[in-house]
Amino acid sequence: MAYLLQTNQLTKTIDGKDLVKDVNIHVEKGTIYGFLGPNGAGKTTVMKMITNLWKPTGGSVEIFGERLTPTSIDILKRMGNIIEFPIFYEHLSGLENLRIHCEYMGYYNPGSIEHTLEILSLTDAAAKPVKSYSLGMKQRLGIARAILCRPELLILDEPTNGLDPAGMKHLRDLFRKLCTEYGITIILSSHILSEVESIADTIGIIHRGTMKDEIAMKEIAEQNTEYIALTVGNTKKAAYVLAEKQNLHHFKIMDENNIRIYDSGITTQTLSKTLALNEVEIRAVSQKSESLEDYFLKLTEEAVK
Amino acid sequence: MLKLVKLEWKKNNITKYTRCALITSLAMLLFILLTAKELEAQETVEMYGENMLIAGVDLFNNIAFIIFTCVMLSAFSVSPYQNKTIYLMFSYPIKRRKIMAAQILAVWSFNFLSLVLSKLFSYCVLLLTKTATAGSIPLGHYEFYLNILIGSAAIVSISFLSLFVGLRLKSSKAAIVTGVIIACFTQGNIGSYTLSHNLPFYCSLLLLSFAAVFLSVYSVETKDVL
């Protein structure tokens, strides 16, 4: 399959330390790719290499079917980005910042600045100097600048930082709209799982500089493991009862009070009854399914072990 | 390129620098007017020769605009690395060298023009206020203007040594301090000894300055933006 963006064994080493190693990313056209990882995992490093700000020590980046070289320039015209945090000429107004951006990008489309400001609810603040903006406003202005020139690929590093829940929701809806209506491919990084979970079509999980997995969200949904979450007073006793009395073997003791039972064919009712008959203190029983959070934690915890 | 230079001026609020250059020029003129009598005194002429008024105009304006150039260089070329606006600049579909060249040209042209105008303004005021005689300032000779043009171009160009230091250390302060040191070396004197009219010294500094600009811009295309 041809991808709009892919990296092959992408590696960045600084002062002998591998910031990222052998990272392979595959982004399909017209999709939203969630780049997930804890702080310091290497998300920004990868994004800096994709936008050519940093040059890879090893491996390669392919965008729009072309291999990115240290002097690739034209590719940048088809991209919009926010890396790390939105940066502006603080003494200039939001409007002036966007005008200057258009000049540098060589993009002239009357009314597009005003329209973009309106989409991001910044029309009223447009004439004020950026230094008077709140963090959330700067974030929105950064996104306005990134989408202003109608890029084919949007690269957004932690785009919802500093936004309130309503602002986050507004942006999620906007990203989805940009993707479905305008066919813009979006890569967004985040360490907030719920944010990625609700918007991404595919996620890539990076941890300590290496890719742990790359999977479509629908695959995660299909793979969702259902389990019974059991909170008891004594896990040892409960585990004995589960194994000996209920003949269950596919369960996992999570901590001193919690057990997850993956065996199918047992109901919470039967389970409660058996445990109660064997004098195991039950604090809670519920049927659950593994979320992206569990999936993410499983991968990153495995990496820690 | 002209468009890029204009954008540099716009981004960096050139009106502010124009105002500052004007104030600097007026302040230097005031110094010259205050010291004019000393500069034309019999003792001074005997010790240092004639044309001390022209030397005074050169000295004050050169010092001021060497430092002014370095301040502007630190704002146009060094600060973007400190406040990370360079991330933004280098994500545009424009060659990095071209962007750097535009920054350099924006500073050079502004300071060259300011220095030339400031010197000419000083001479005119000295003549109008009759502080200087028409004979001591040869406004009618083209060599006089040529000297101003070449001298100003050399002084502004030499100031670009600070660009290399500023970019190497990623420090605006280092760039400005370098400017002060350049001003001391090129315009200062110890007793009657001065390097301000030493042609080989100026040529060496100019060559060093060109090398500094080249080294600052040379590998920018393939370097990581840190």
CB-based burial of residue A84 (10 Å sphere; 0-12 exposed, 13-18 middle, 19+ buried)?
Answer: middle
Residue A236 is which amino acid? K
Provide the CATH number for the domain around residue A65: 3.40.50.300
Residue labelled with tokens 């002209």: B2
Residue B120 φ then ψ, to 5°: -60, -40
Judge whether B88 is closer than 8 Å to chain A, CB to CB.
Answer: yes
User: Residue B3: its chain A contacts at CB < 8 A?
Assistant: 103
Q: Which residues fall within 8 angstroms of residue B30, CB to CB, at 6 or more apart?
A: none
Residue B200 has pLDDT above 90, yes or no: no
Does residue A145 fall inside a structural domain? yes
Q: Which residue in chain A is spatially nearest to B90 when comparing CA positions?
A: A53
CB contact under 8 A, B223 and A79: no
Q: Within this chain, do residues A138 and A236 fall inside the same structural domain, yes or no?
A: no
User: Residue A57: its chain B contacts at CB < 8 A?
Assistant: none
Higher pLDDT, B184 or A225: B184
The Cα–Cα gap between B103 and B163 comes to 11
Residue B119 has pLDDT above 80, yes or no: yes
**Closest alpha carbon to B53 in B25, B29, B32, B31:** B32
Banded model confidence at residue B107, pLDDT cuts 50, 70, 90? very high
Out of A54, A87, A104, closest to residue B7 by CB: A104
Residues A254-292 have pLDDT tens digits of: 788 888 887 777 788 888 888 888 888 888 888 776 666
Q: Within this chain, do residues A268 and A122 fall inside the same structural domain, yes or no?
A: no
Compute the count of residue pairs across chains A and B with CB atoms less than 8 Å apart.
57
Torsion angle of C-alpha atoms A268, A269, A272, A277, degrees rounded to 10: -150
Does residue A35 fall inside a structural domain? yes
Residues A63-78 have pLDDT tens digits of: 888 888 887 888 888 8
Q: How far are the Cα atoms of A62, A120, A177 from residue A149, in angstroms, in the given order? A: 22, 15, 16
Each residue of A158-197: b (16+ CB within 10 Å) or e?
bbbbbbeeebbebbbebbeebbeeeebbbbbbbbebebbb
To the nearest whole number, what is the mean pLDDT of chain A?
83
Tokens read off for B166? 């500023």
Does residue A215 fall inside a structural domain? yes
CB contact under 8 A, A76 and B7: no
Banded model confidence at residue B135, pLDDT cuts 50, 70, 90? low
Minimal C-alpha gap between B44 and chain A (Å): 48
Judge whether B82 is closer than 8 Å to chain A, CB to CB.
Answer: no
Residue labelled with tokens 């088809």: A78
Q: Which residues fall within 8 angstroms of residue A260, CB to CB, at 6 or more apart?
A: A227, A228, A229, A230, A251, A252, A254
CB contact under 8 A, B93 and A51: no
Residue A163 has pLDDT above 80, yes or no: no
Domain C-terminal end among A205, A221, A237: A221
pTM, full prediction: 0.77
| Secondary element (H or E) of residue A288 | strand A282-289
Residue A169 has a pLDDT of 81
Contact B89, B61 (CB under 8 A): no
Judge whether B92 is closer than 8 Å to chain A, CB to CB.
Answer: yes
Banded model confidence at residue B45, pLDDT cuts 50, 70, 90? low
Residue labelled with tokens 């992206």: A292
Does residue A182 fall inside a structural domain? yes
Query: Domain range for residue A217?
Result: 5-221
Judge whether A102 is closer than 8 Å to chain B, CB to CB.
Answer: no
Crossing angle for the helix pair B172-187 and B199-218, nearest 10 degrees?
A: 160
Instruction: Name the DSSP letter for residue A270.
Output: H
Question: Which residues pair with residue A251 across a beta bridge?
Answer: A261
Residue B123 has pLDDT above 60, yes or no: yes
Distance of CA A77 to the CA centre of its chain: 24
Tokens read off for A124? 């009223």
The structural domain count of chain A equals 2
The Cα–Cα gap between A217 and A210 comes to 20
Distance of CA A51 to the CA centre of its chain: 18
Q: Within this chain, do residues A50 and A100 fall inside the same structural domain, yes or no?
A: yes
Q: Is A193 helix (H, G, I), strand (E, B) or coil?
A: helix
| DSSP sequence for A91-120 | TSBHHHHHHHHHHHHT---TTHHHHHHHHT
Residue B194 has pLDDT above 90, yes or no: no
Contact A202, A27 (CB under 8 A): yes
Q: Within this chain, do residues A214 and A229 fall inside the same structural domain, yes or no?
A: no
Q: Within this chain, do residues A157 and A236 fall inside the same structural domain, yes or no?
A: no
Does residue A300 fall inside a structural domain? no
CB contact under 8 A, A81 and B3: no
Q: Which residue in chain A is spatially nearest to B87 when comparing CA positions?
A: A53
Out of A75, A83, A105, closest to residue B87 by CB: A83
Residue B22 has a pLDDT of 92
Residue B84 has pLDDT above 80, yes or no: yes
Higher pLDDT, A42 or A1: A42
Domain C-terminal end among A201, A221, A241: A221
To the nearest whole number, what is the mean pLDDT of chain B?
83
Please state, for a pLDDT cut of 90, what percent of chain B lies above it: 17
Q: Within this chain, do residues A125 and A170 fall inside the same structural domain, yes or no?
A: yes
| Secondary element (H or E) of residue A196 | helix A193-197
Q: Within this chain, do residues A205 and A241 fall inside the same structural domain, yes or no?
A: no
Residue A120 is which amino acid? L
Residue B49 has a pLDDT of 60
Judge whether A66 is closer than 8 Å to chain B, CB to CB.
Answer: no
Task: Give the residue ranges of DSSP H helices in chain B.
Answer: 2-11, 14-40, 42-48, 52-73, 79-82, 85-89, 96-128, 142-158, 161-169, 172-187, 199-218
What's A38-53 look like in SS3? CCCCCHHHHHHHHCCC
Residue B195 has a pLDDT of 65
Residue A215 has pLDDT above 60, yes or no: yes
Judge whether B11 is closer than 8 Å to chain A, CB to CB.
Answer: yes
Does residue A298 fall inside a structural domain? no
Residue B219 has pLDDT above 90, yes or no: no
Minimal C-alpha gap between B170 and chain A (Å): 17
Residue B192 has a pLDDT of 66
Residue B225 has pLDDT above 80, yes or no: no
What's B122-166 look like in SS3? HHHHHHHCCCCCCCCCCCCCHHHHHHHHHHHHHHHHHCCHHHHHH
Provide the CATH number for the domain around residue A245: 3.30.70
Q: Within this chain, do residues A58 and A133 fall inside the same structural domain, yes or no?
A: yes
Banded model confidence at residue A305, pLDDT cuts 50, 70, 90? very low
Please state, for a pLDDT cut of 70, what percent of chain A lies above it: 93
Judge whether B222 is closer than 8 Å to chain A, CB to CB.
Answer: yes
Residue A304 has pLDDT above 50, yes or no: no
Residue B42 has a pLDDT of 66
User: Residue A51: its chain B contacts at CB < 8 A?
Assistant: 91
Judge whether A266 is closer than 8 Å to chain B, CB to CB.
Answer: no
Question: How many Cα atoms occupy the beta-carbon half-sphere of A64 within 13 Å?
Answer: 16
Q: Within this chain, do residues A172 and A27 fall inside the same structural domain, yes or no?
A: yes
Residues A92-125 have pLDDT tens digits of: 999 999 999 998 988 888 888 888 888 888 888 8
Q: Is A209 helix (H, G, I), strand (E, B) or coil?
A: coil
User: Residue B13: its chain A contacts at CB < 8 A?
Assistant: 91
Residue A225 has a pLDDT of 65
Q: Within this chain, do residues A94 and A157 fall inside the same structural domain, yes or no?
A: yes
Minimal C-alpha gap between A282 and chain B (Å): 56
Q: Which residue in chain B is spatially nearest to A51 when comparing CA positions?
A: B91
Does residue A297 fall inside a structural domain? no
Torsion angle of C-alpha atoms A58, A64, A69, A70, degrees rounded to 10: -100
Does residue A43 fall inside a structural domain? yes
Q: Is B222 helix (H, G, I), strand (E, B) or coil?
A: coil
Q: Within this chain, do residues A235 and A214 fall inside the same structural domain, yes or no?
A: no
Judge whether B38 is closer than 8 Å to chain A, CB to CB.
Answer: no
Q: Within this chain, do residues A211 and A120 fall inside the same structural domain, yes or no?
A: yes
Residues A193-211 have pLDDT tens digits of: 777 777 888 888 888 888 8
Out of A53, A70, A105, closest to residue B87 by CB: A53
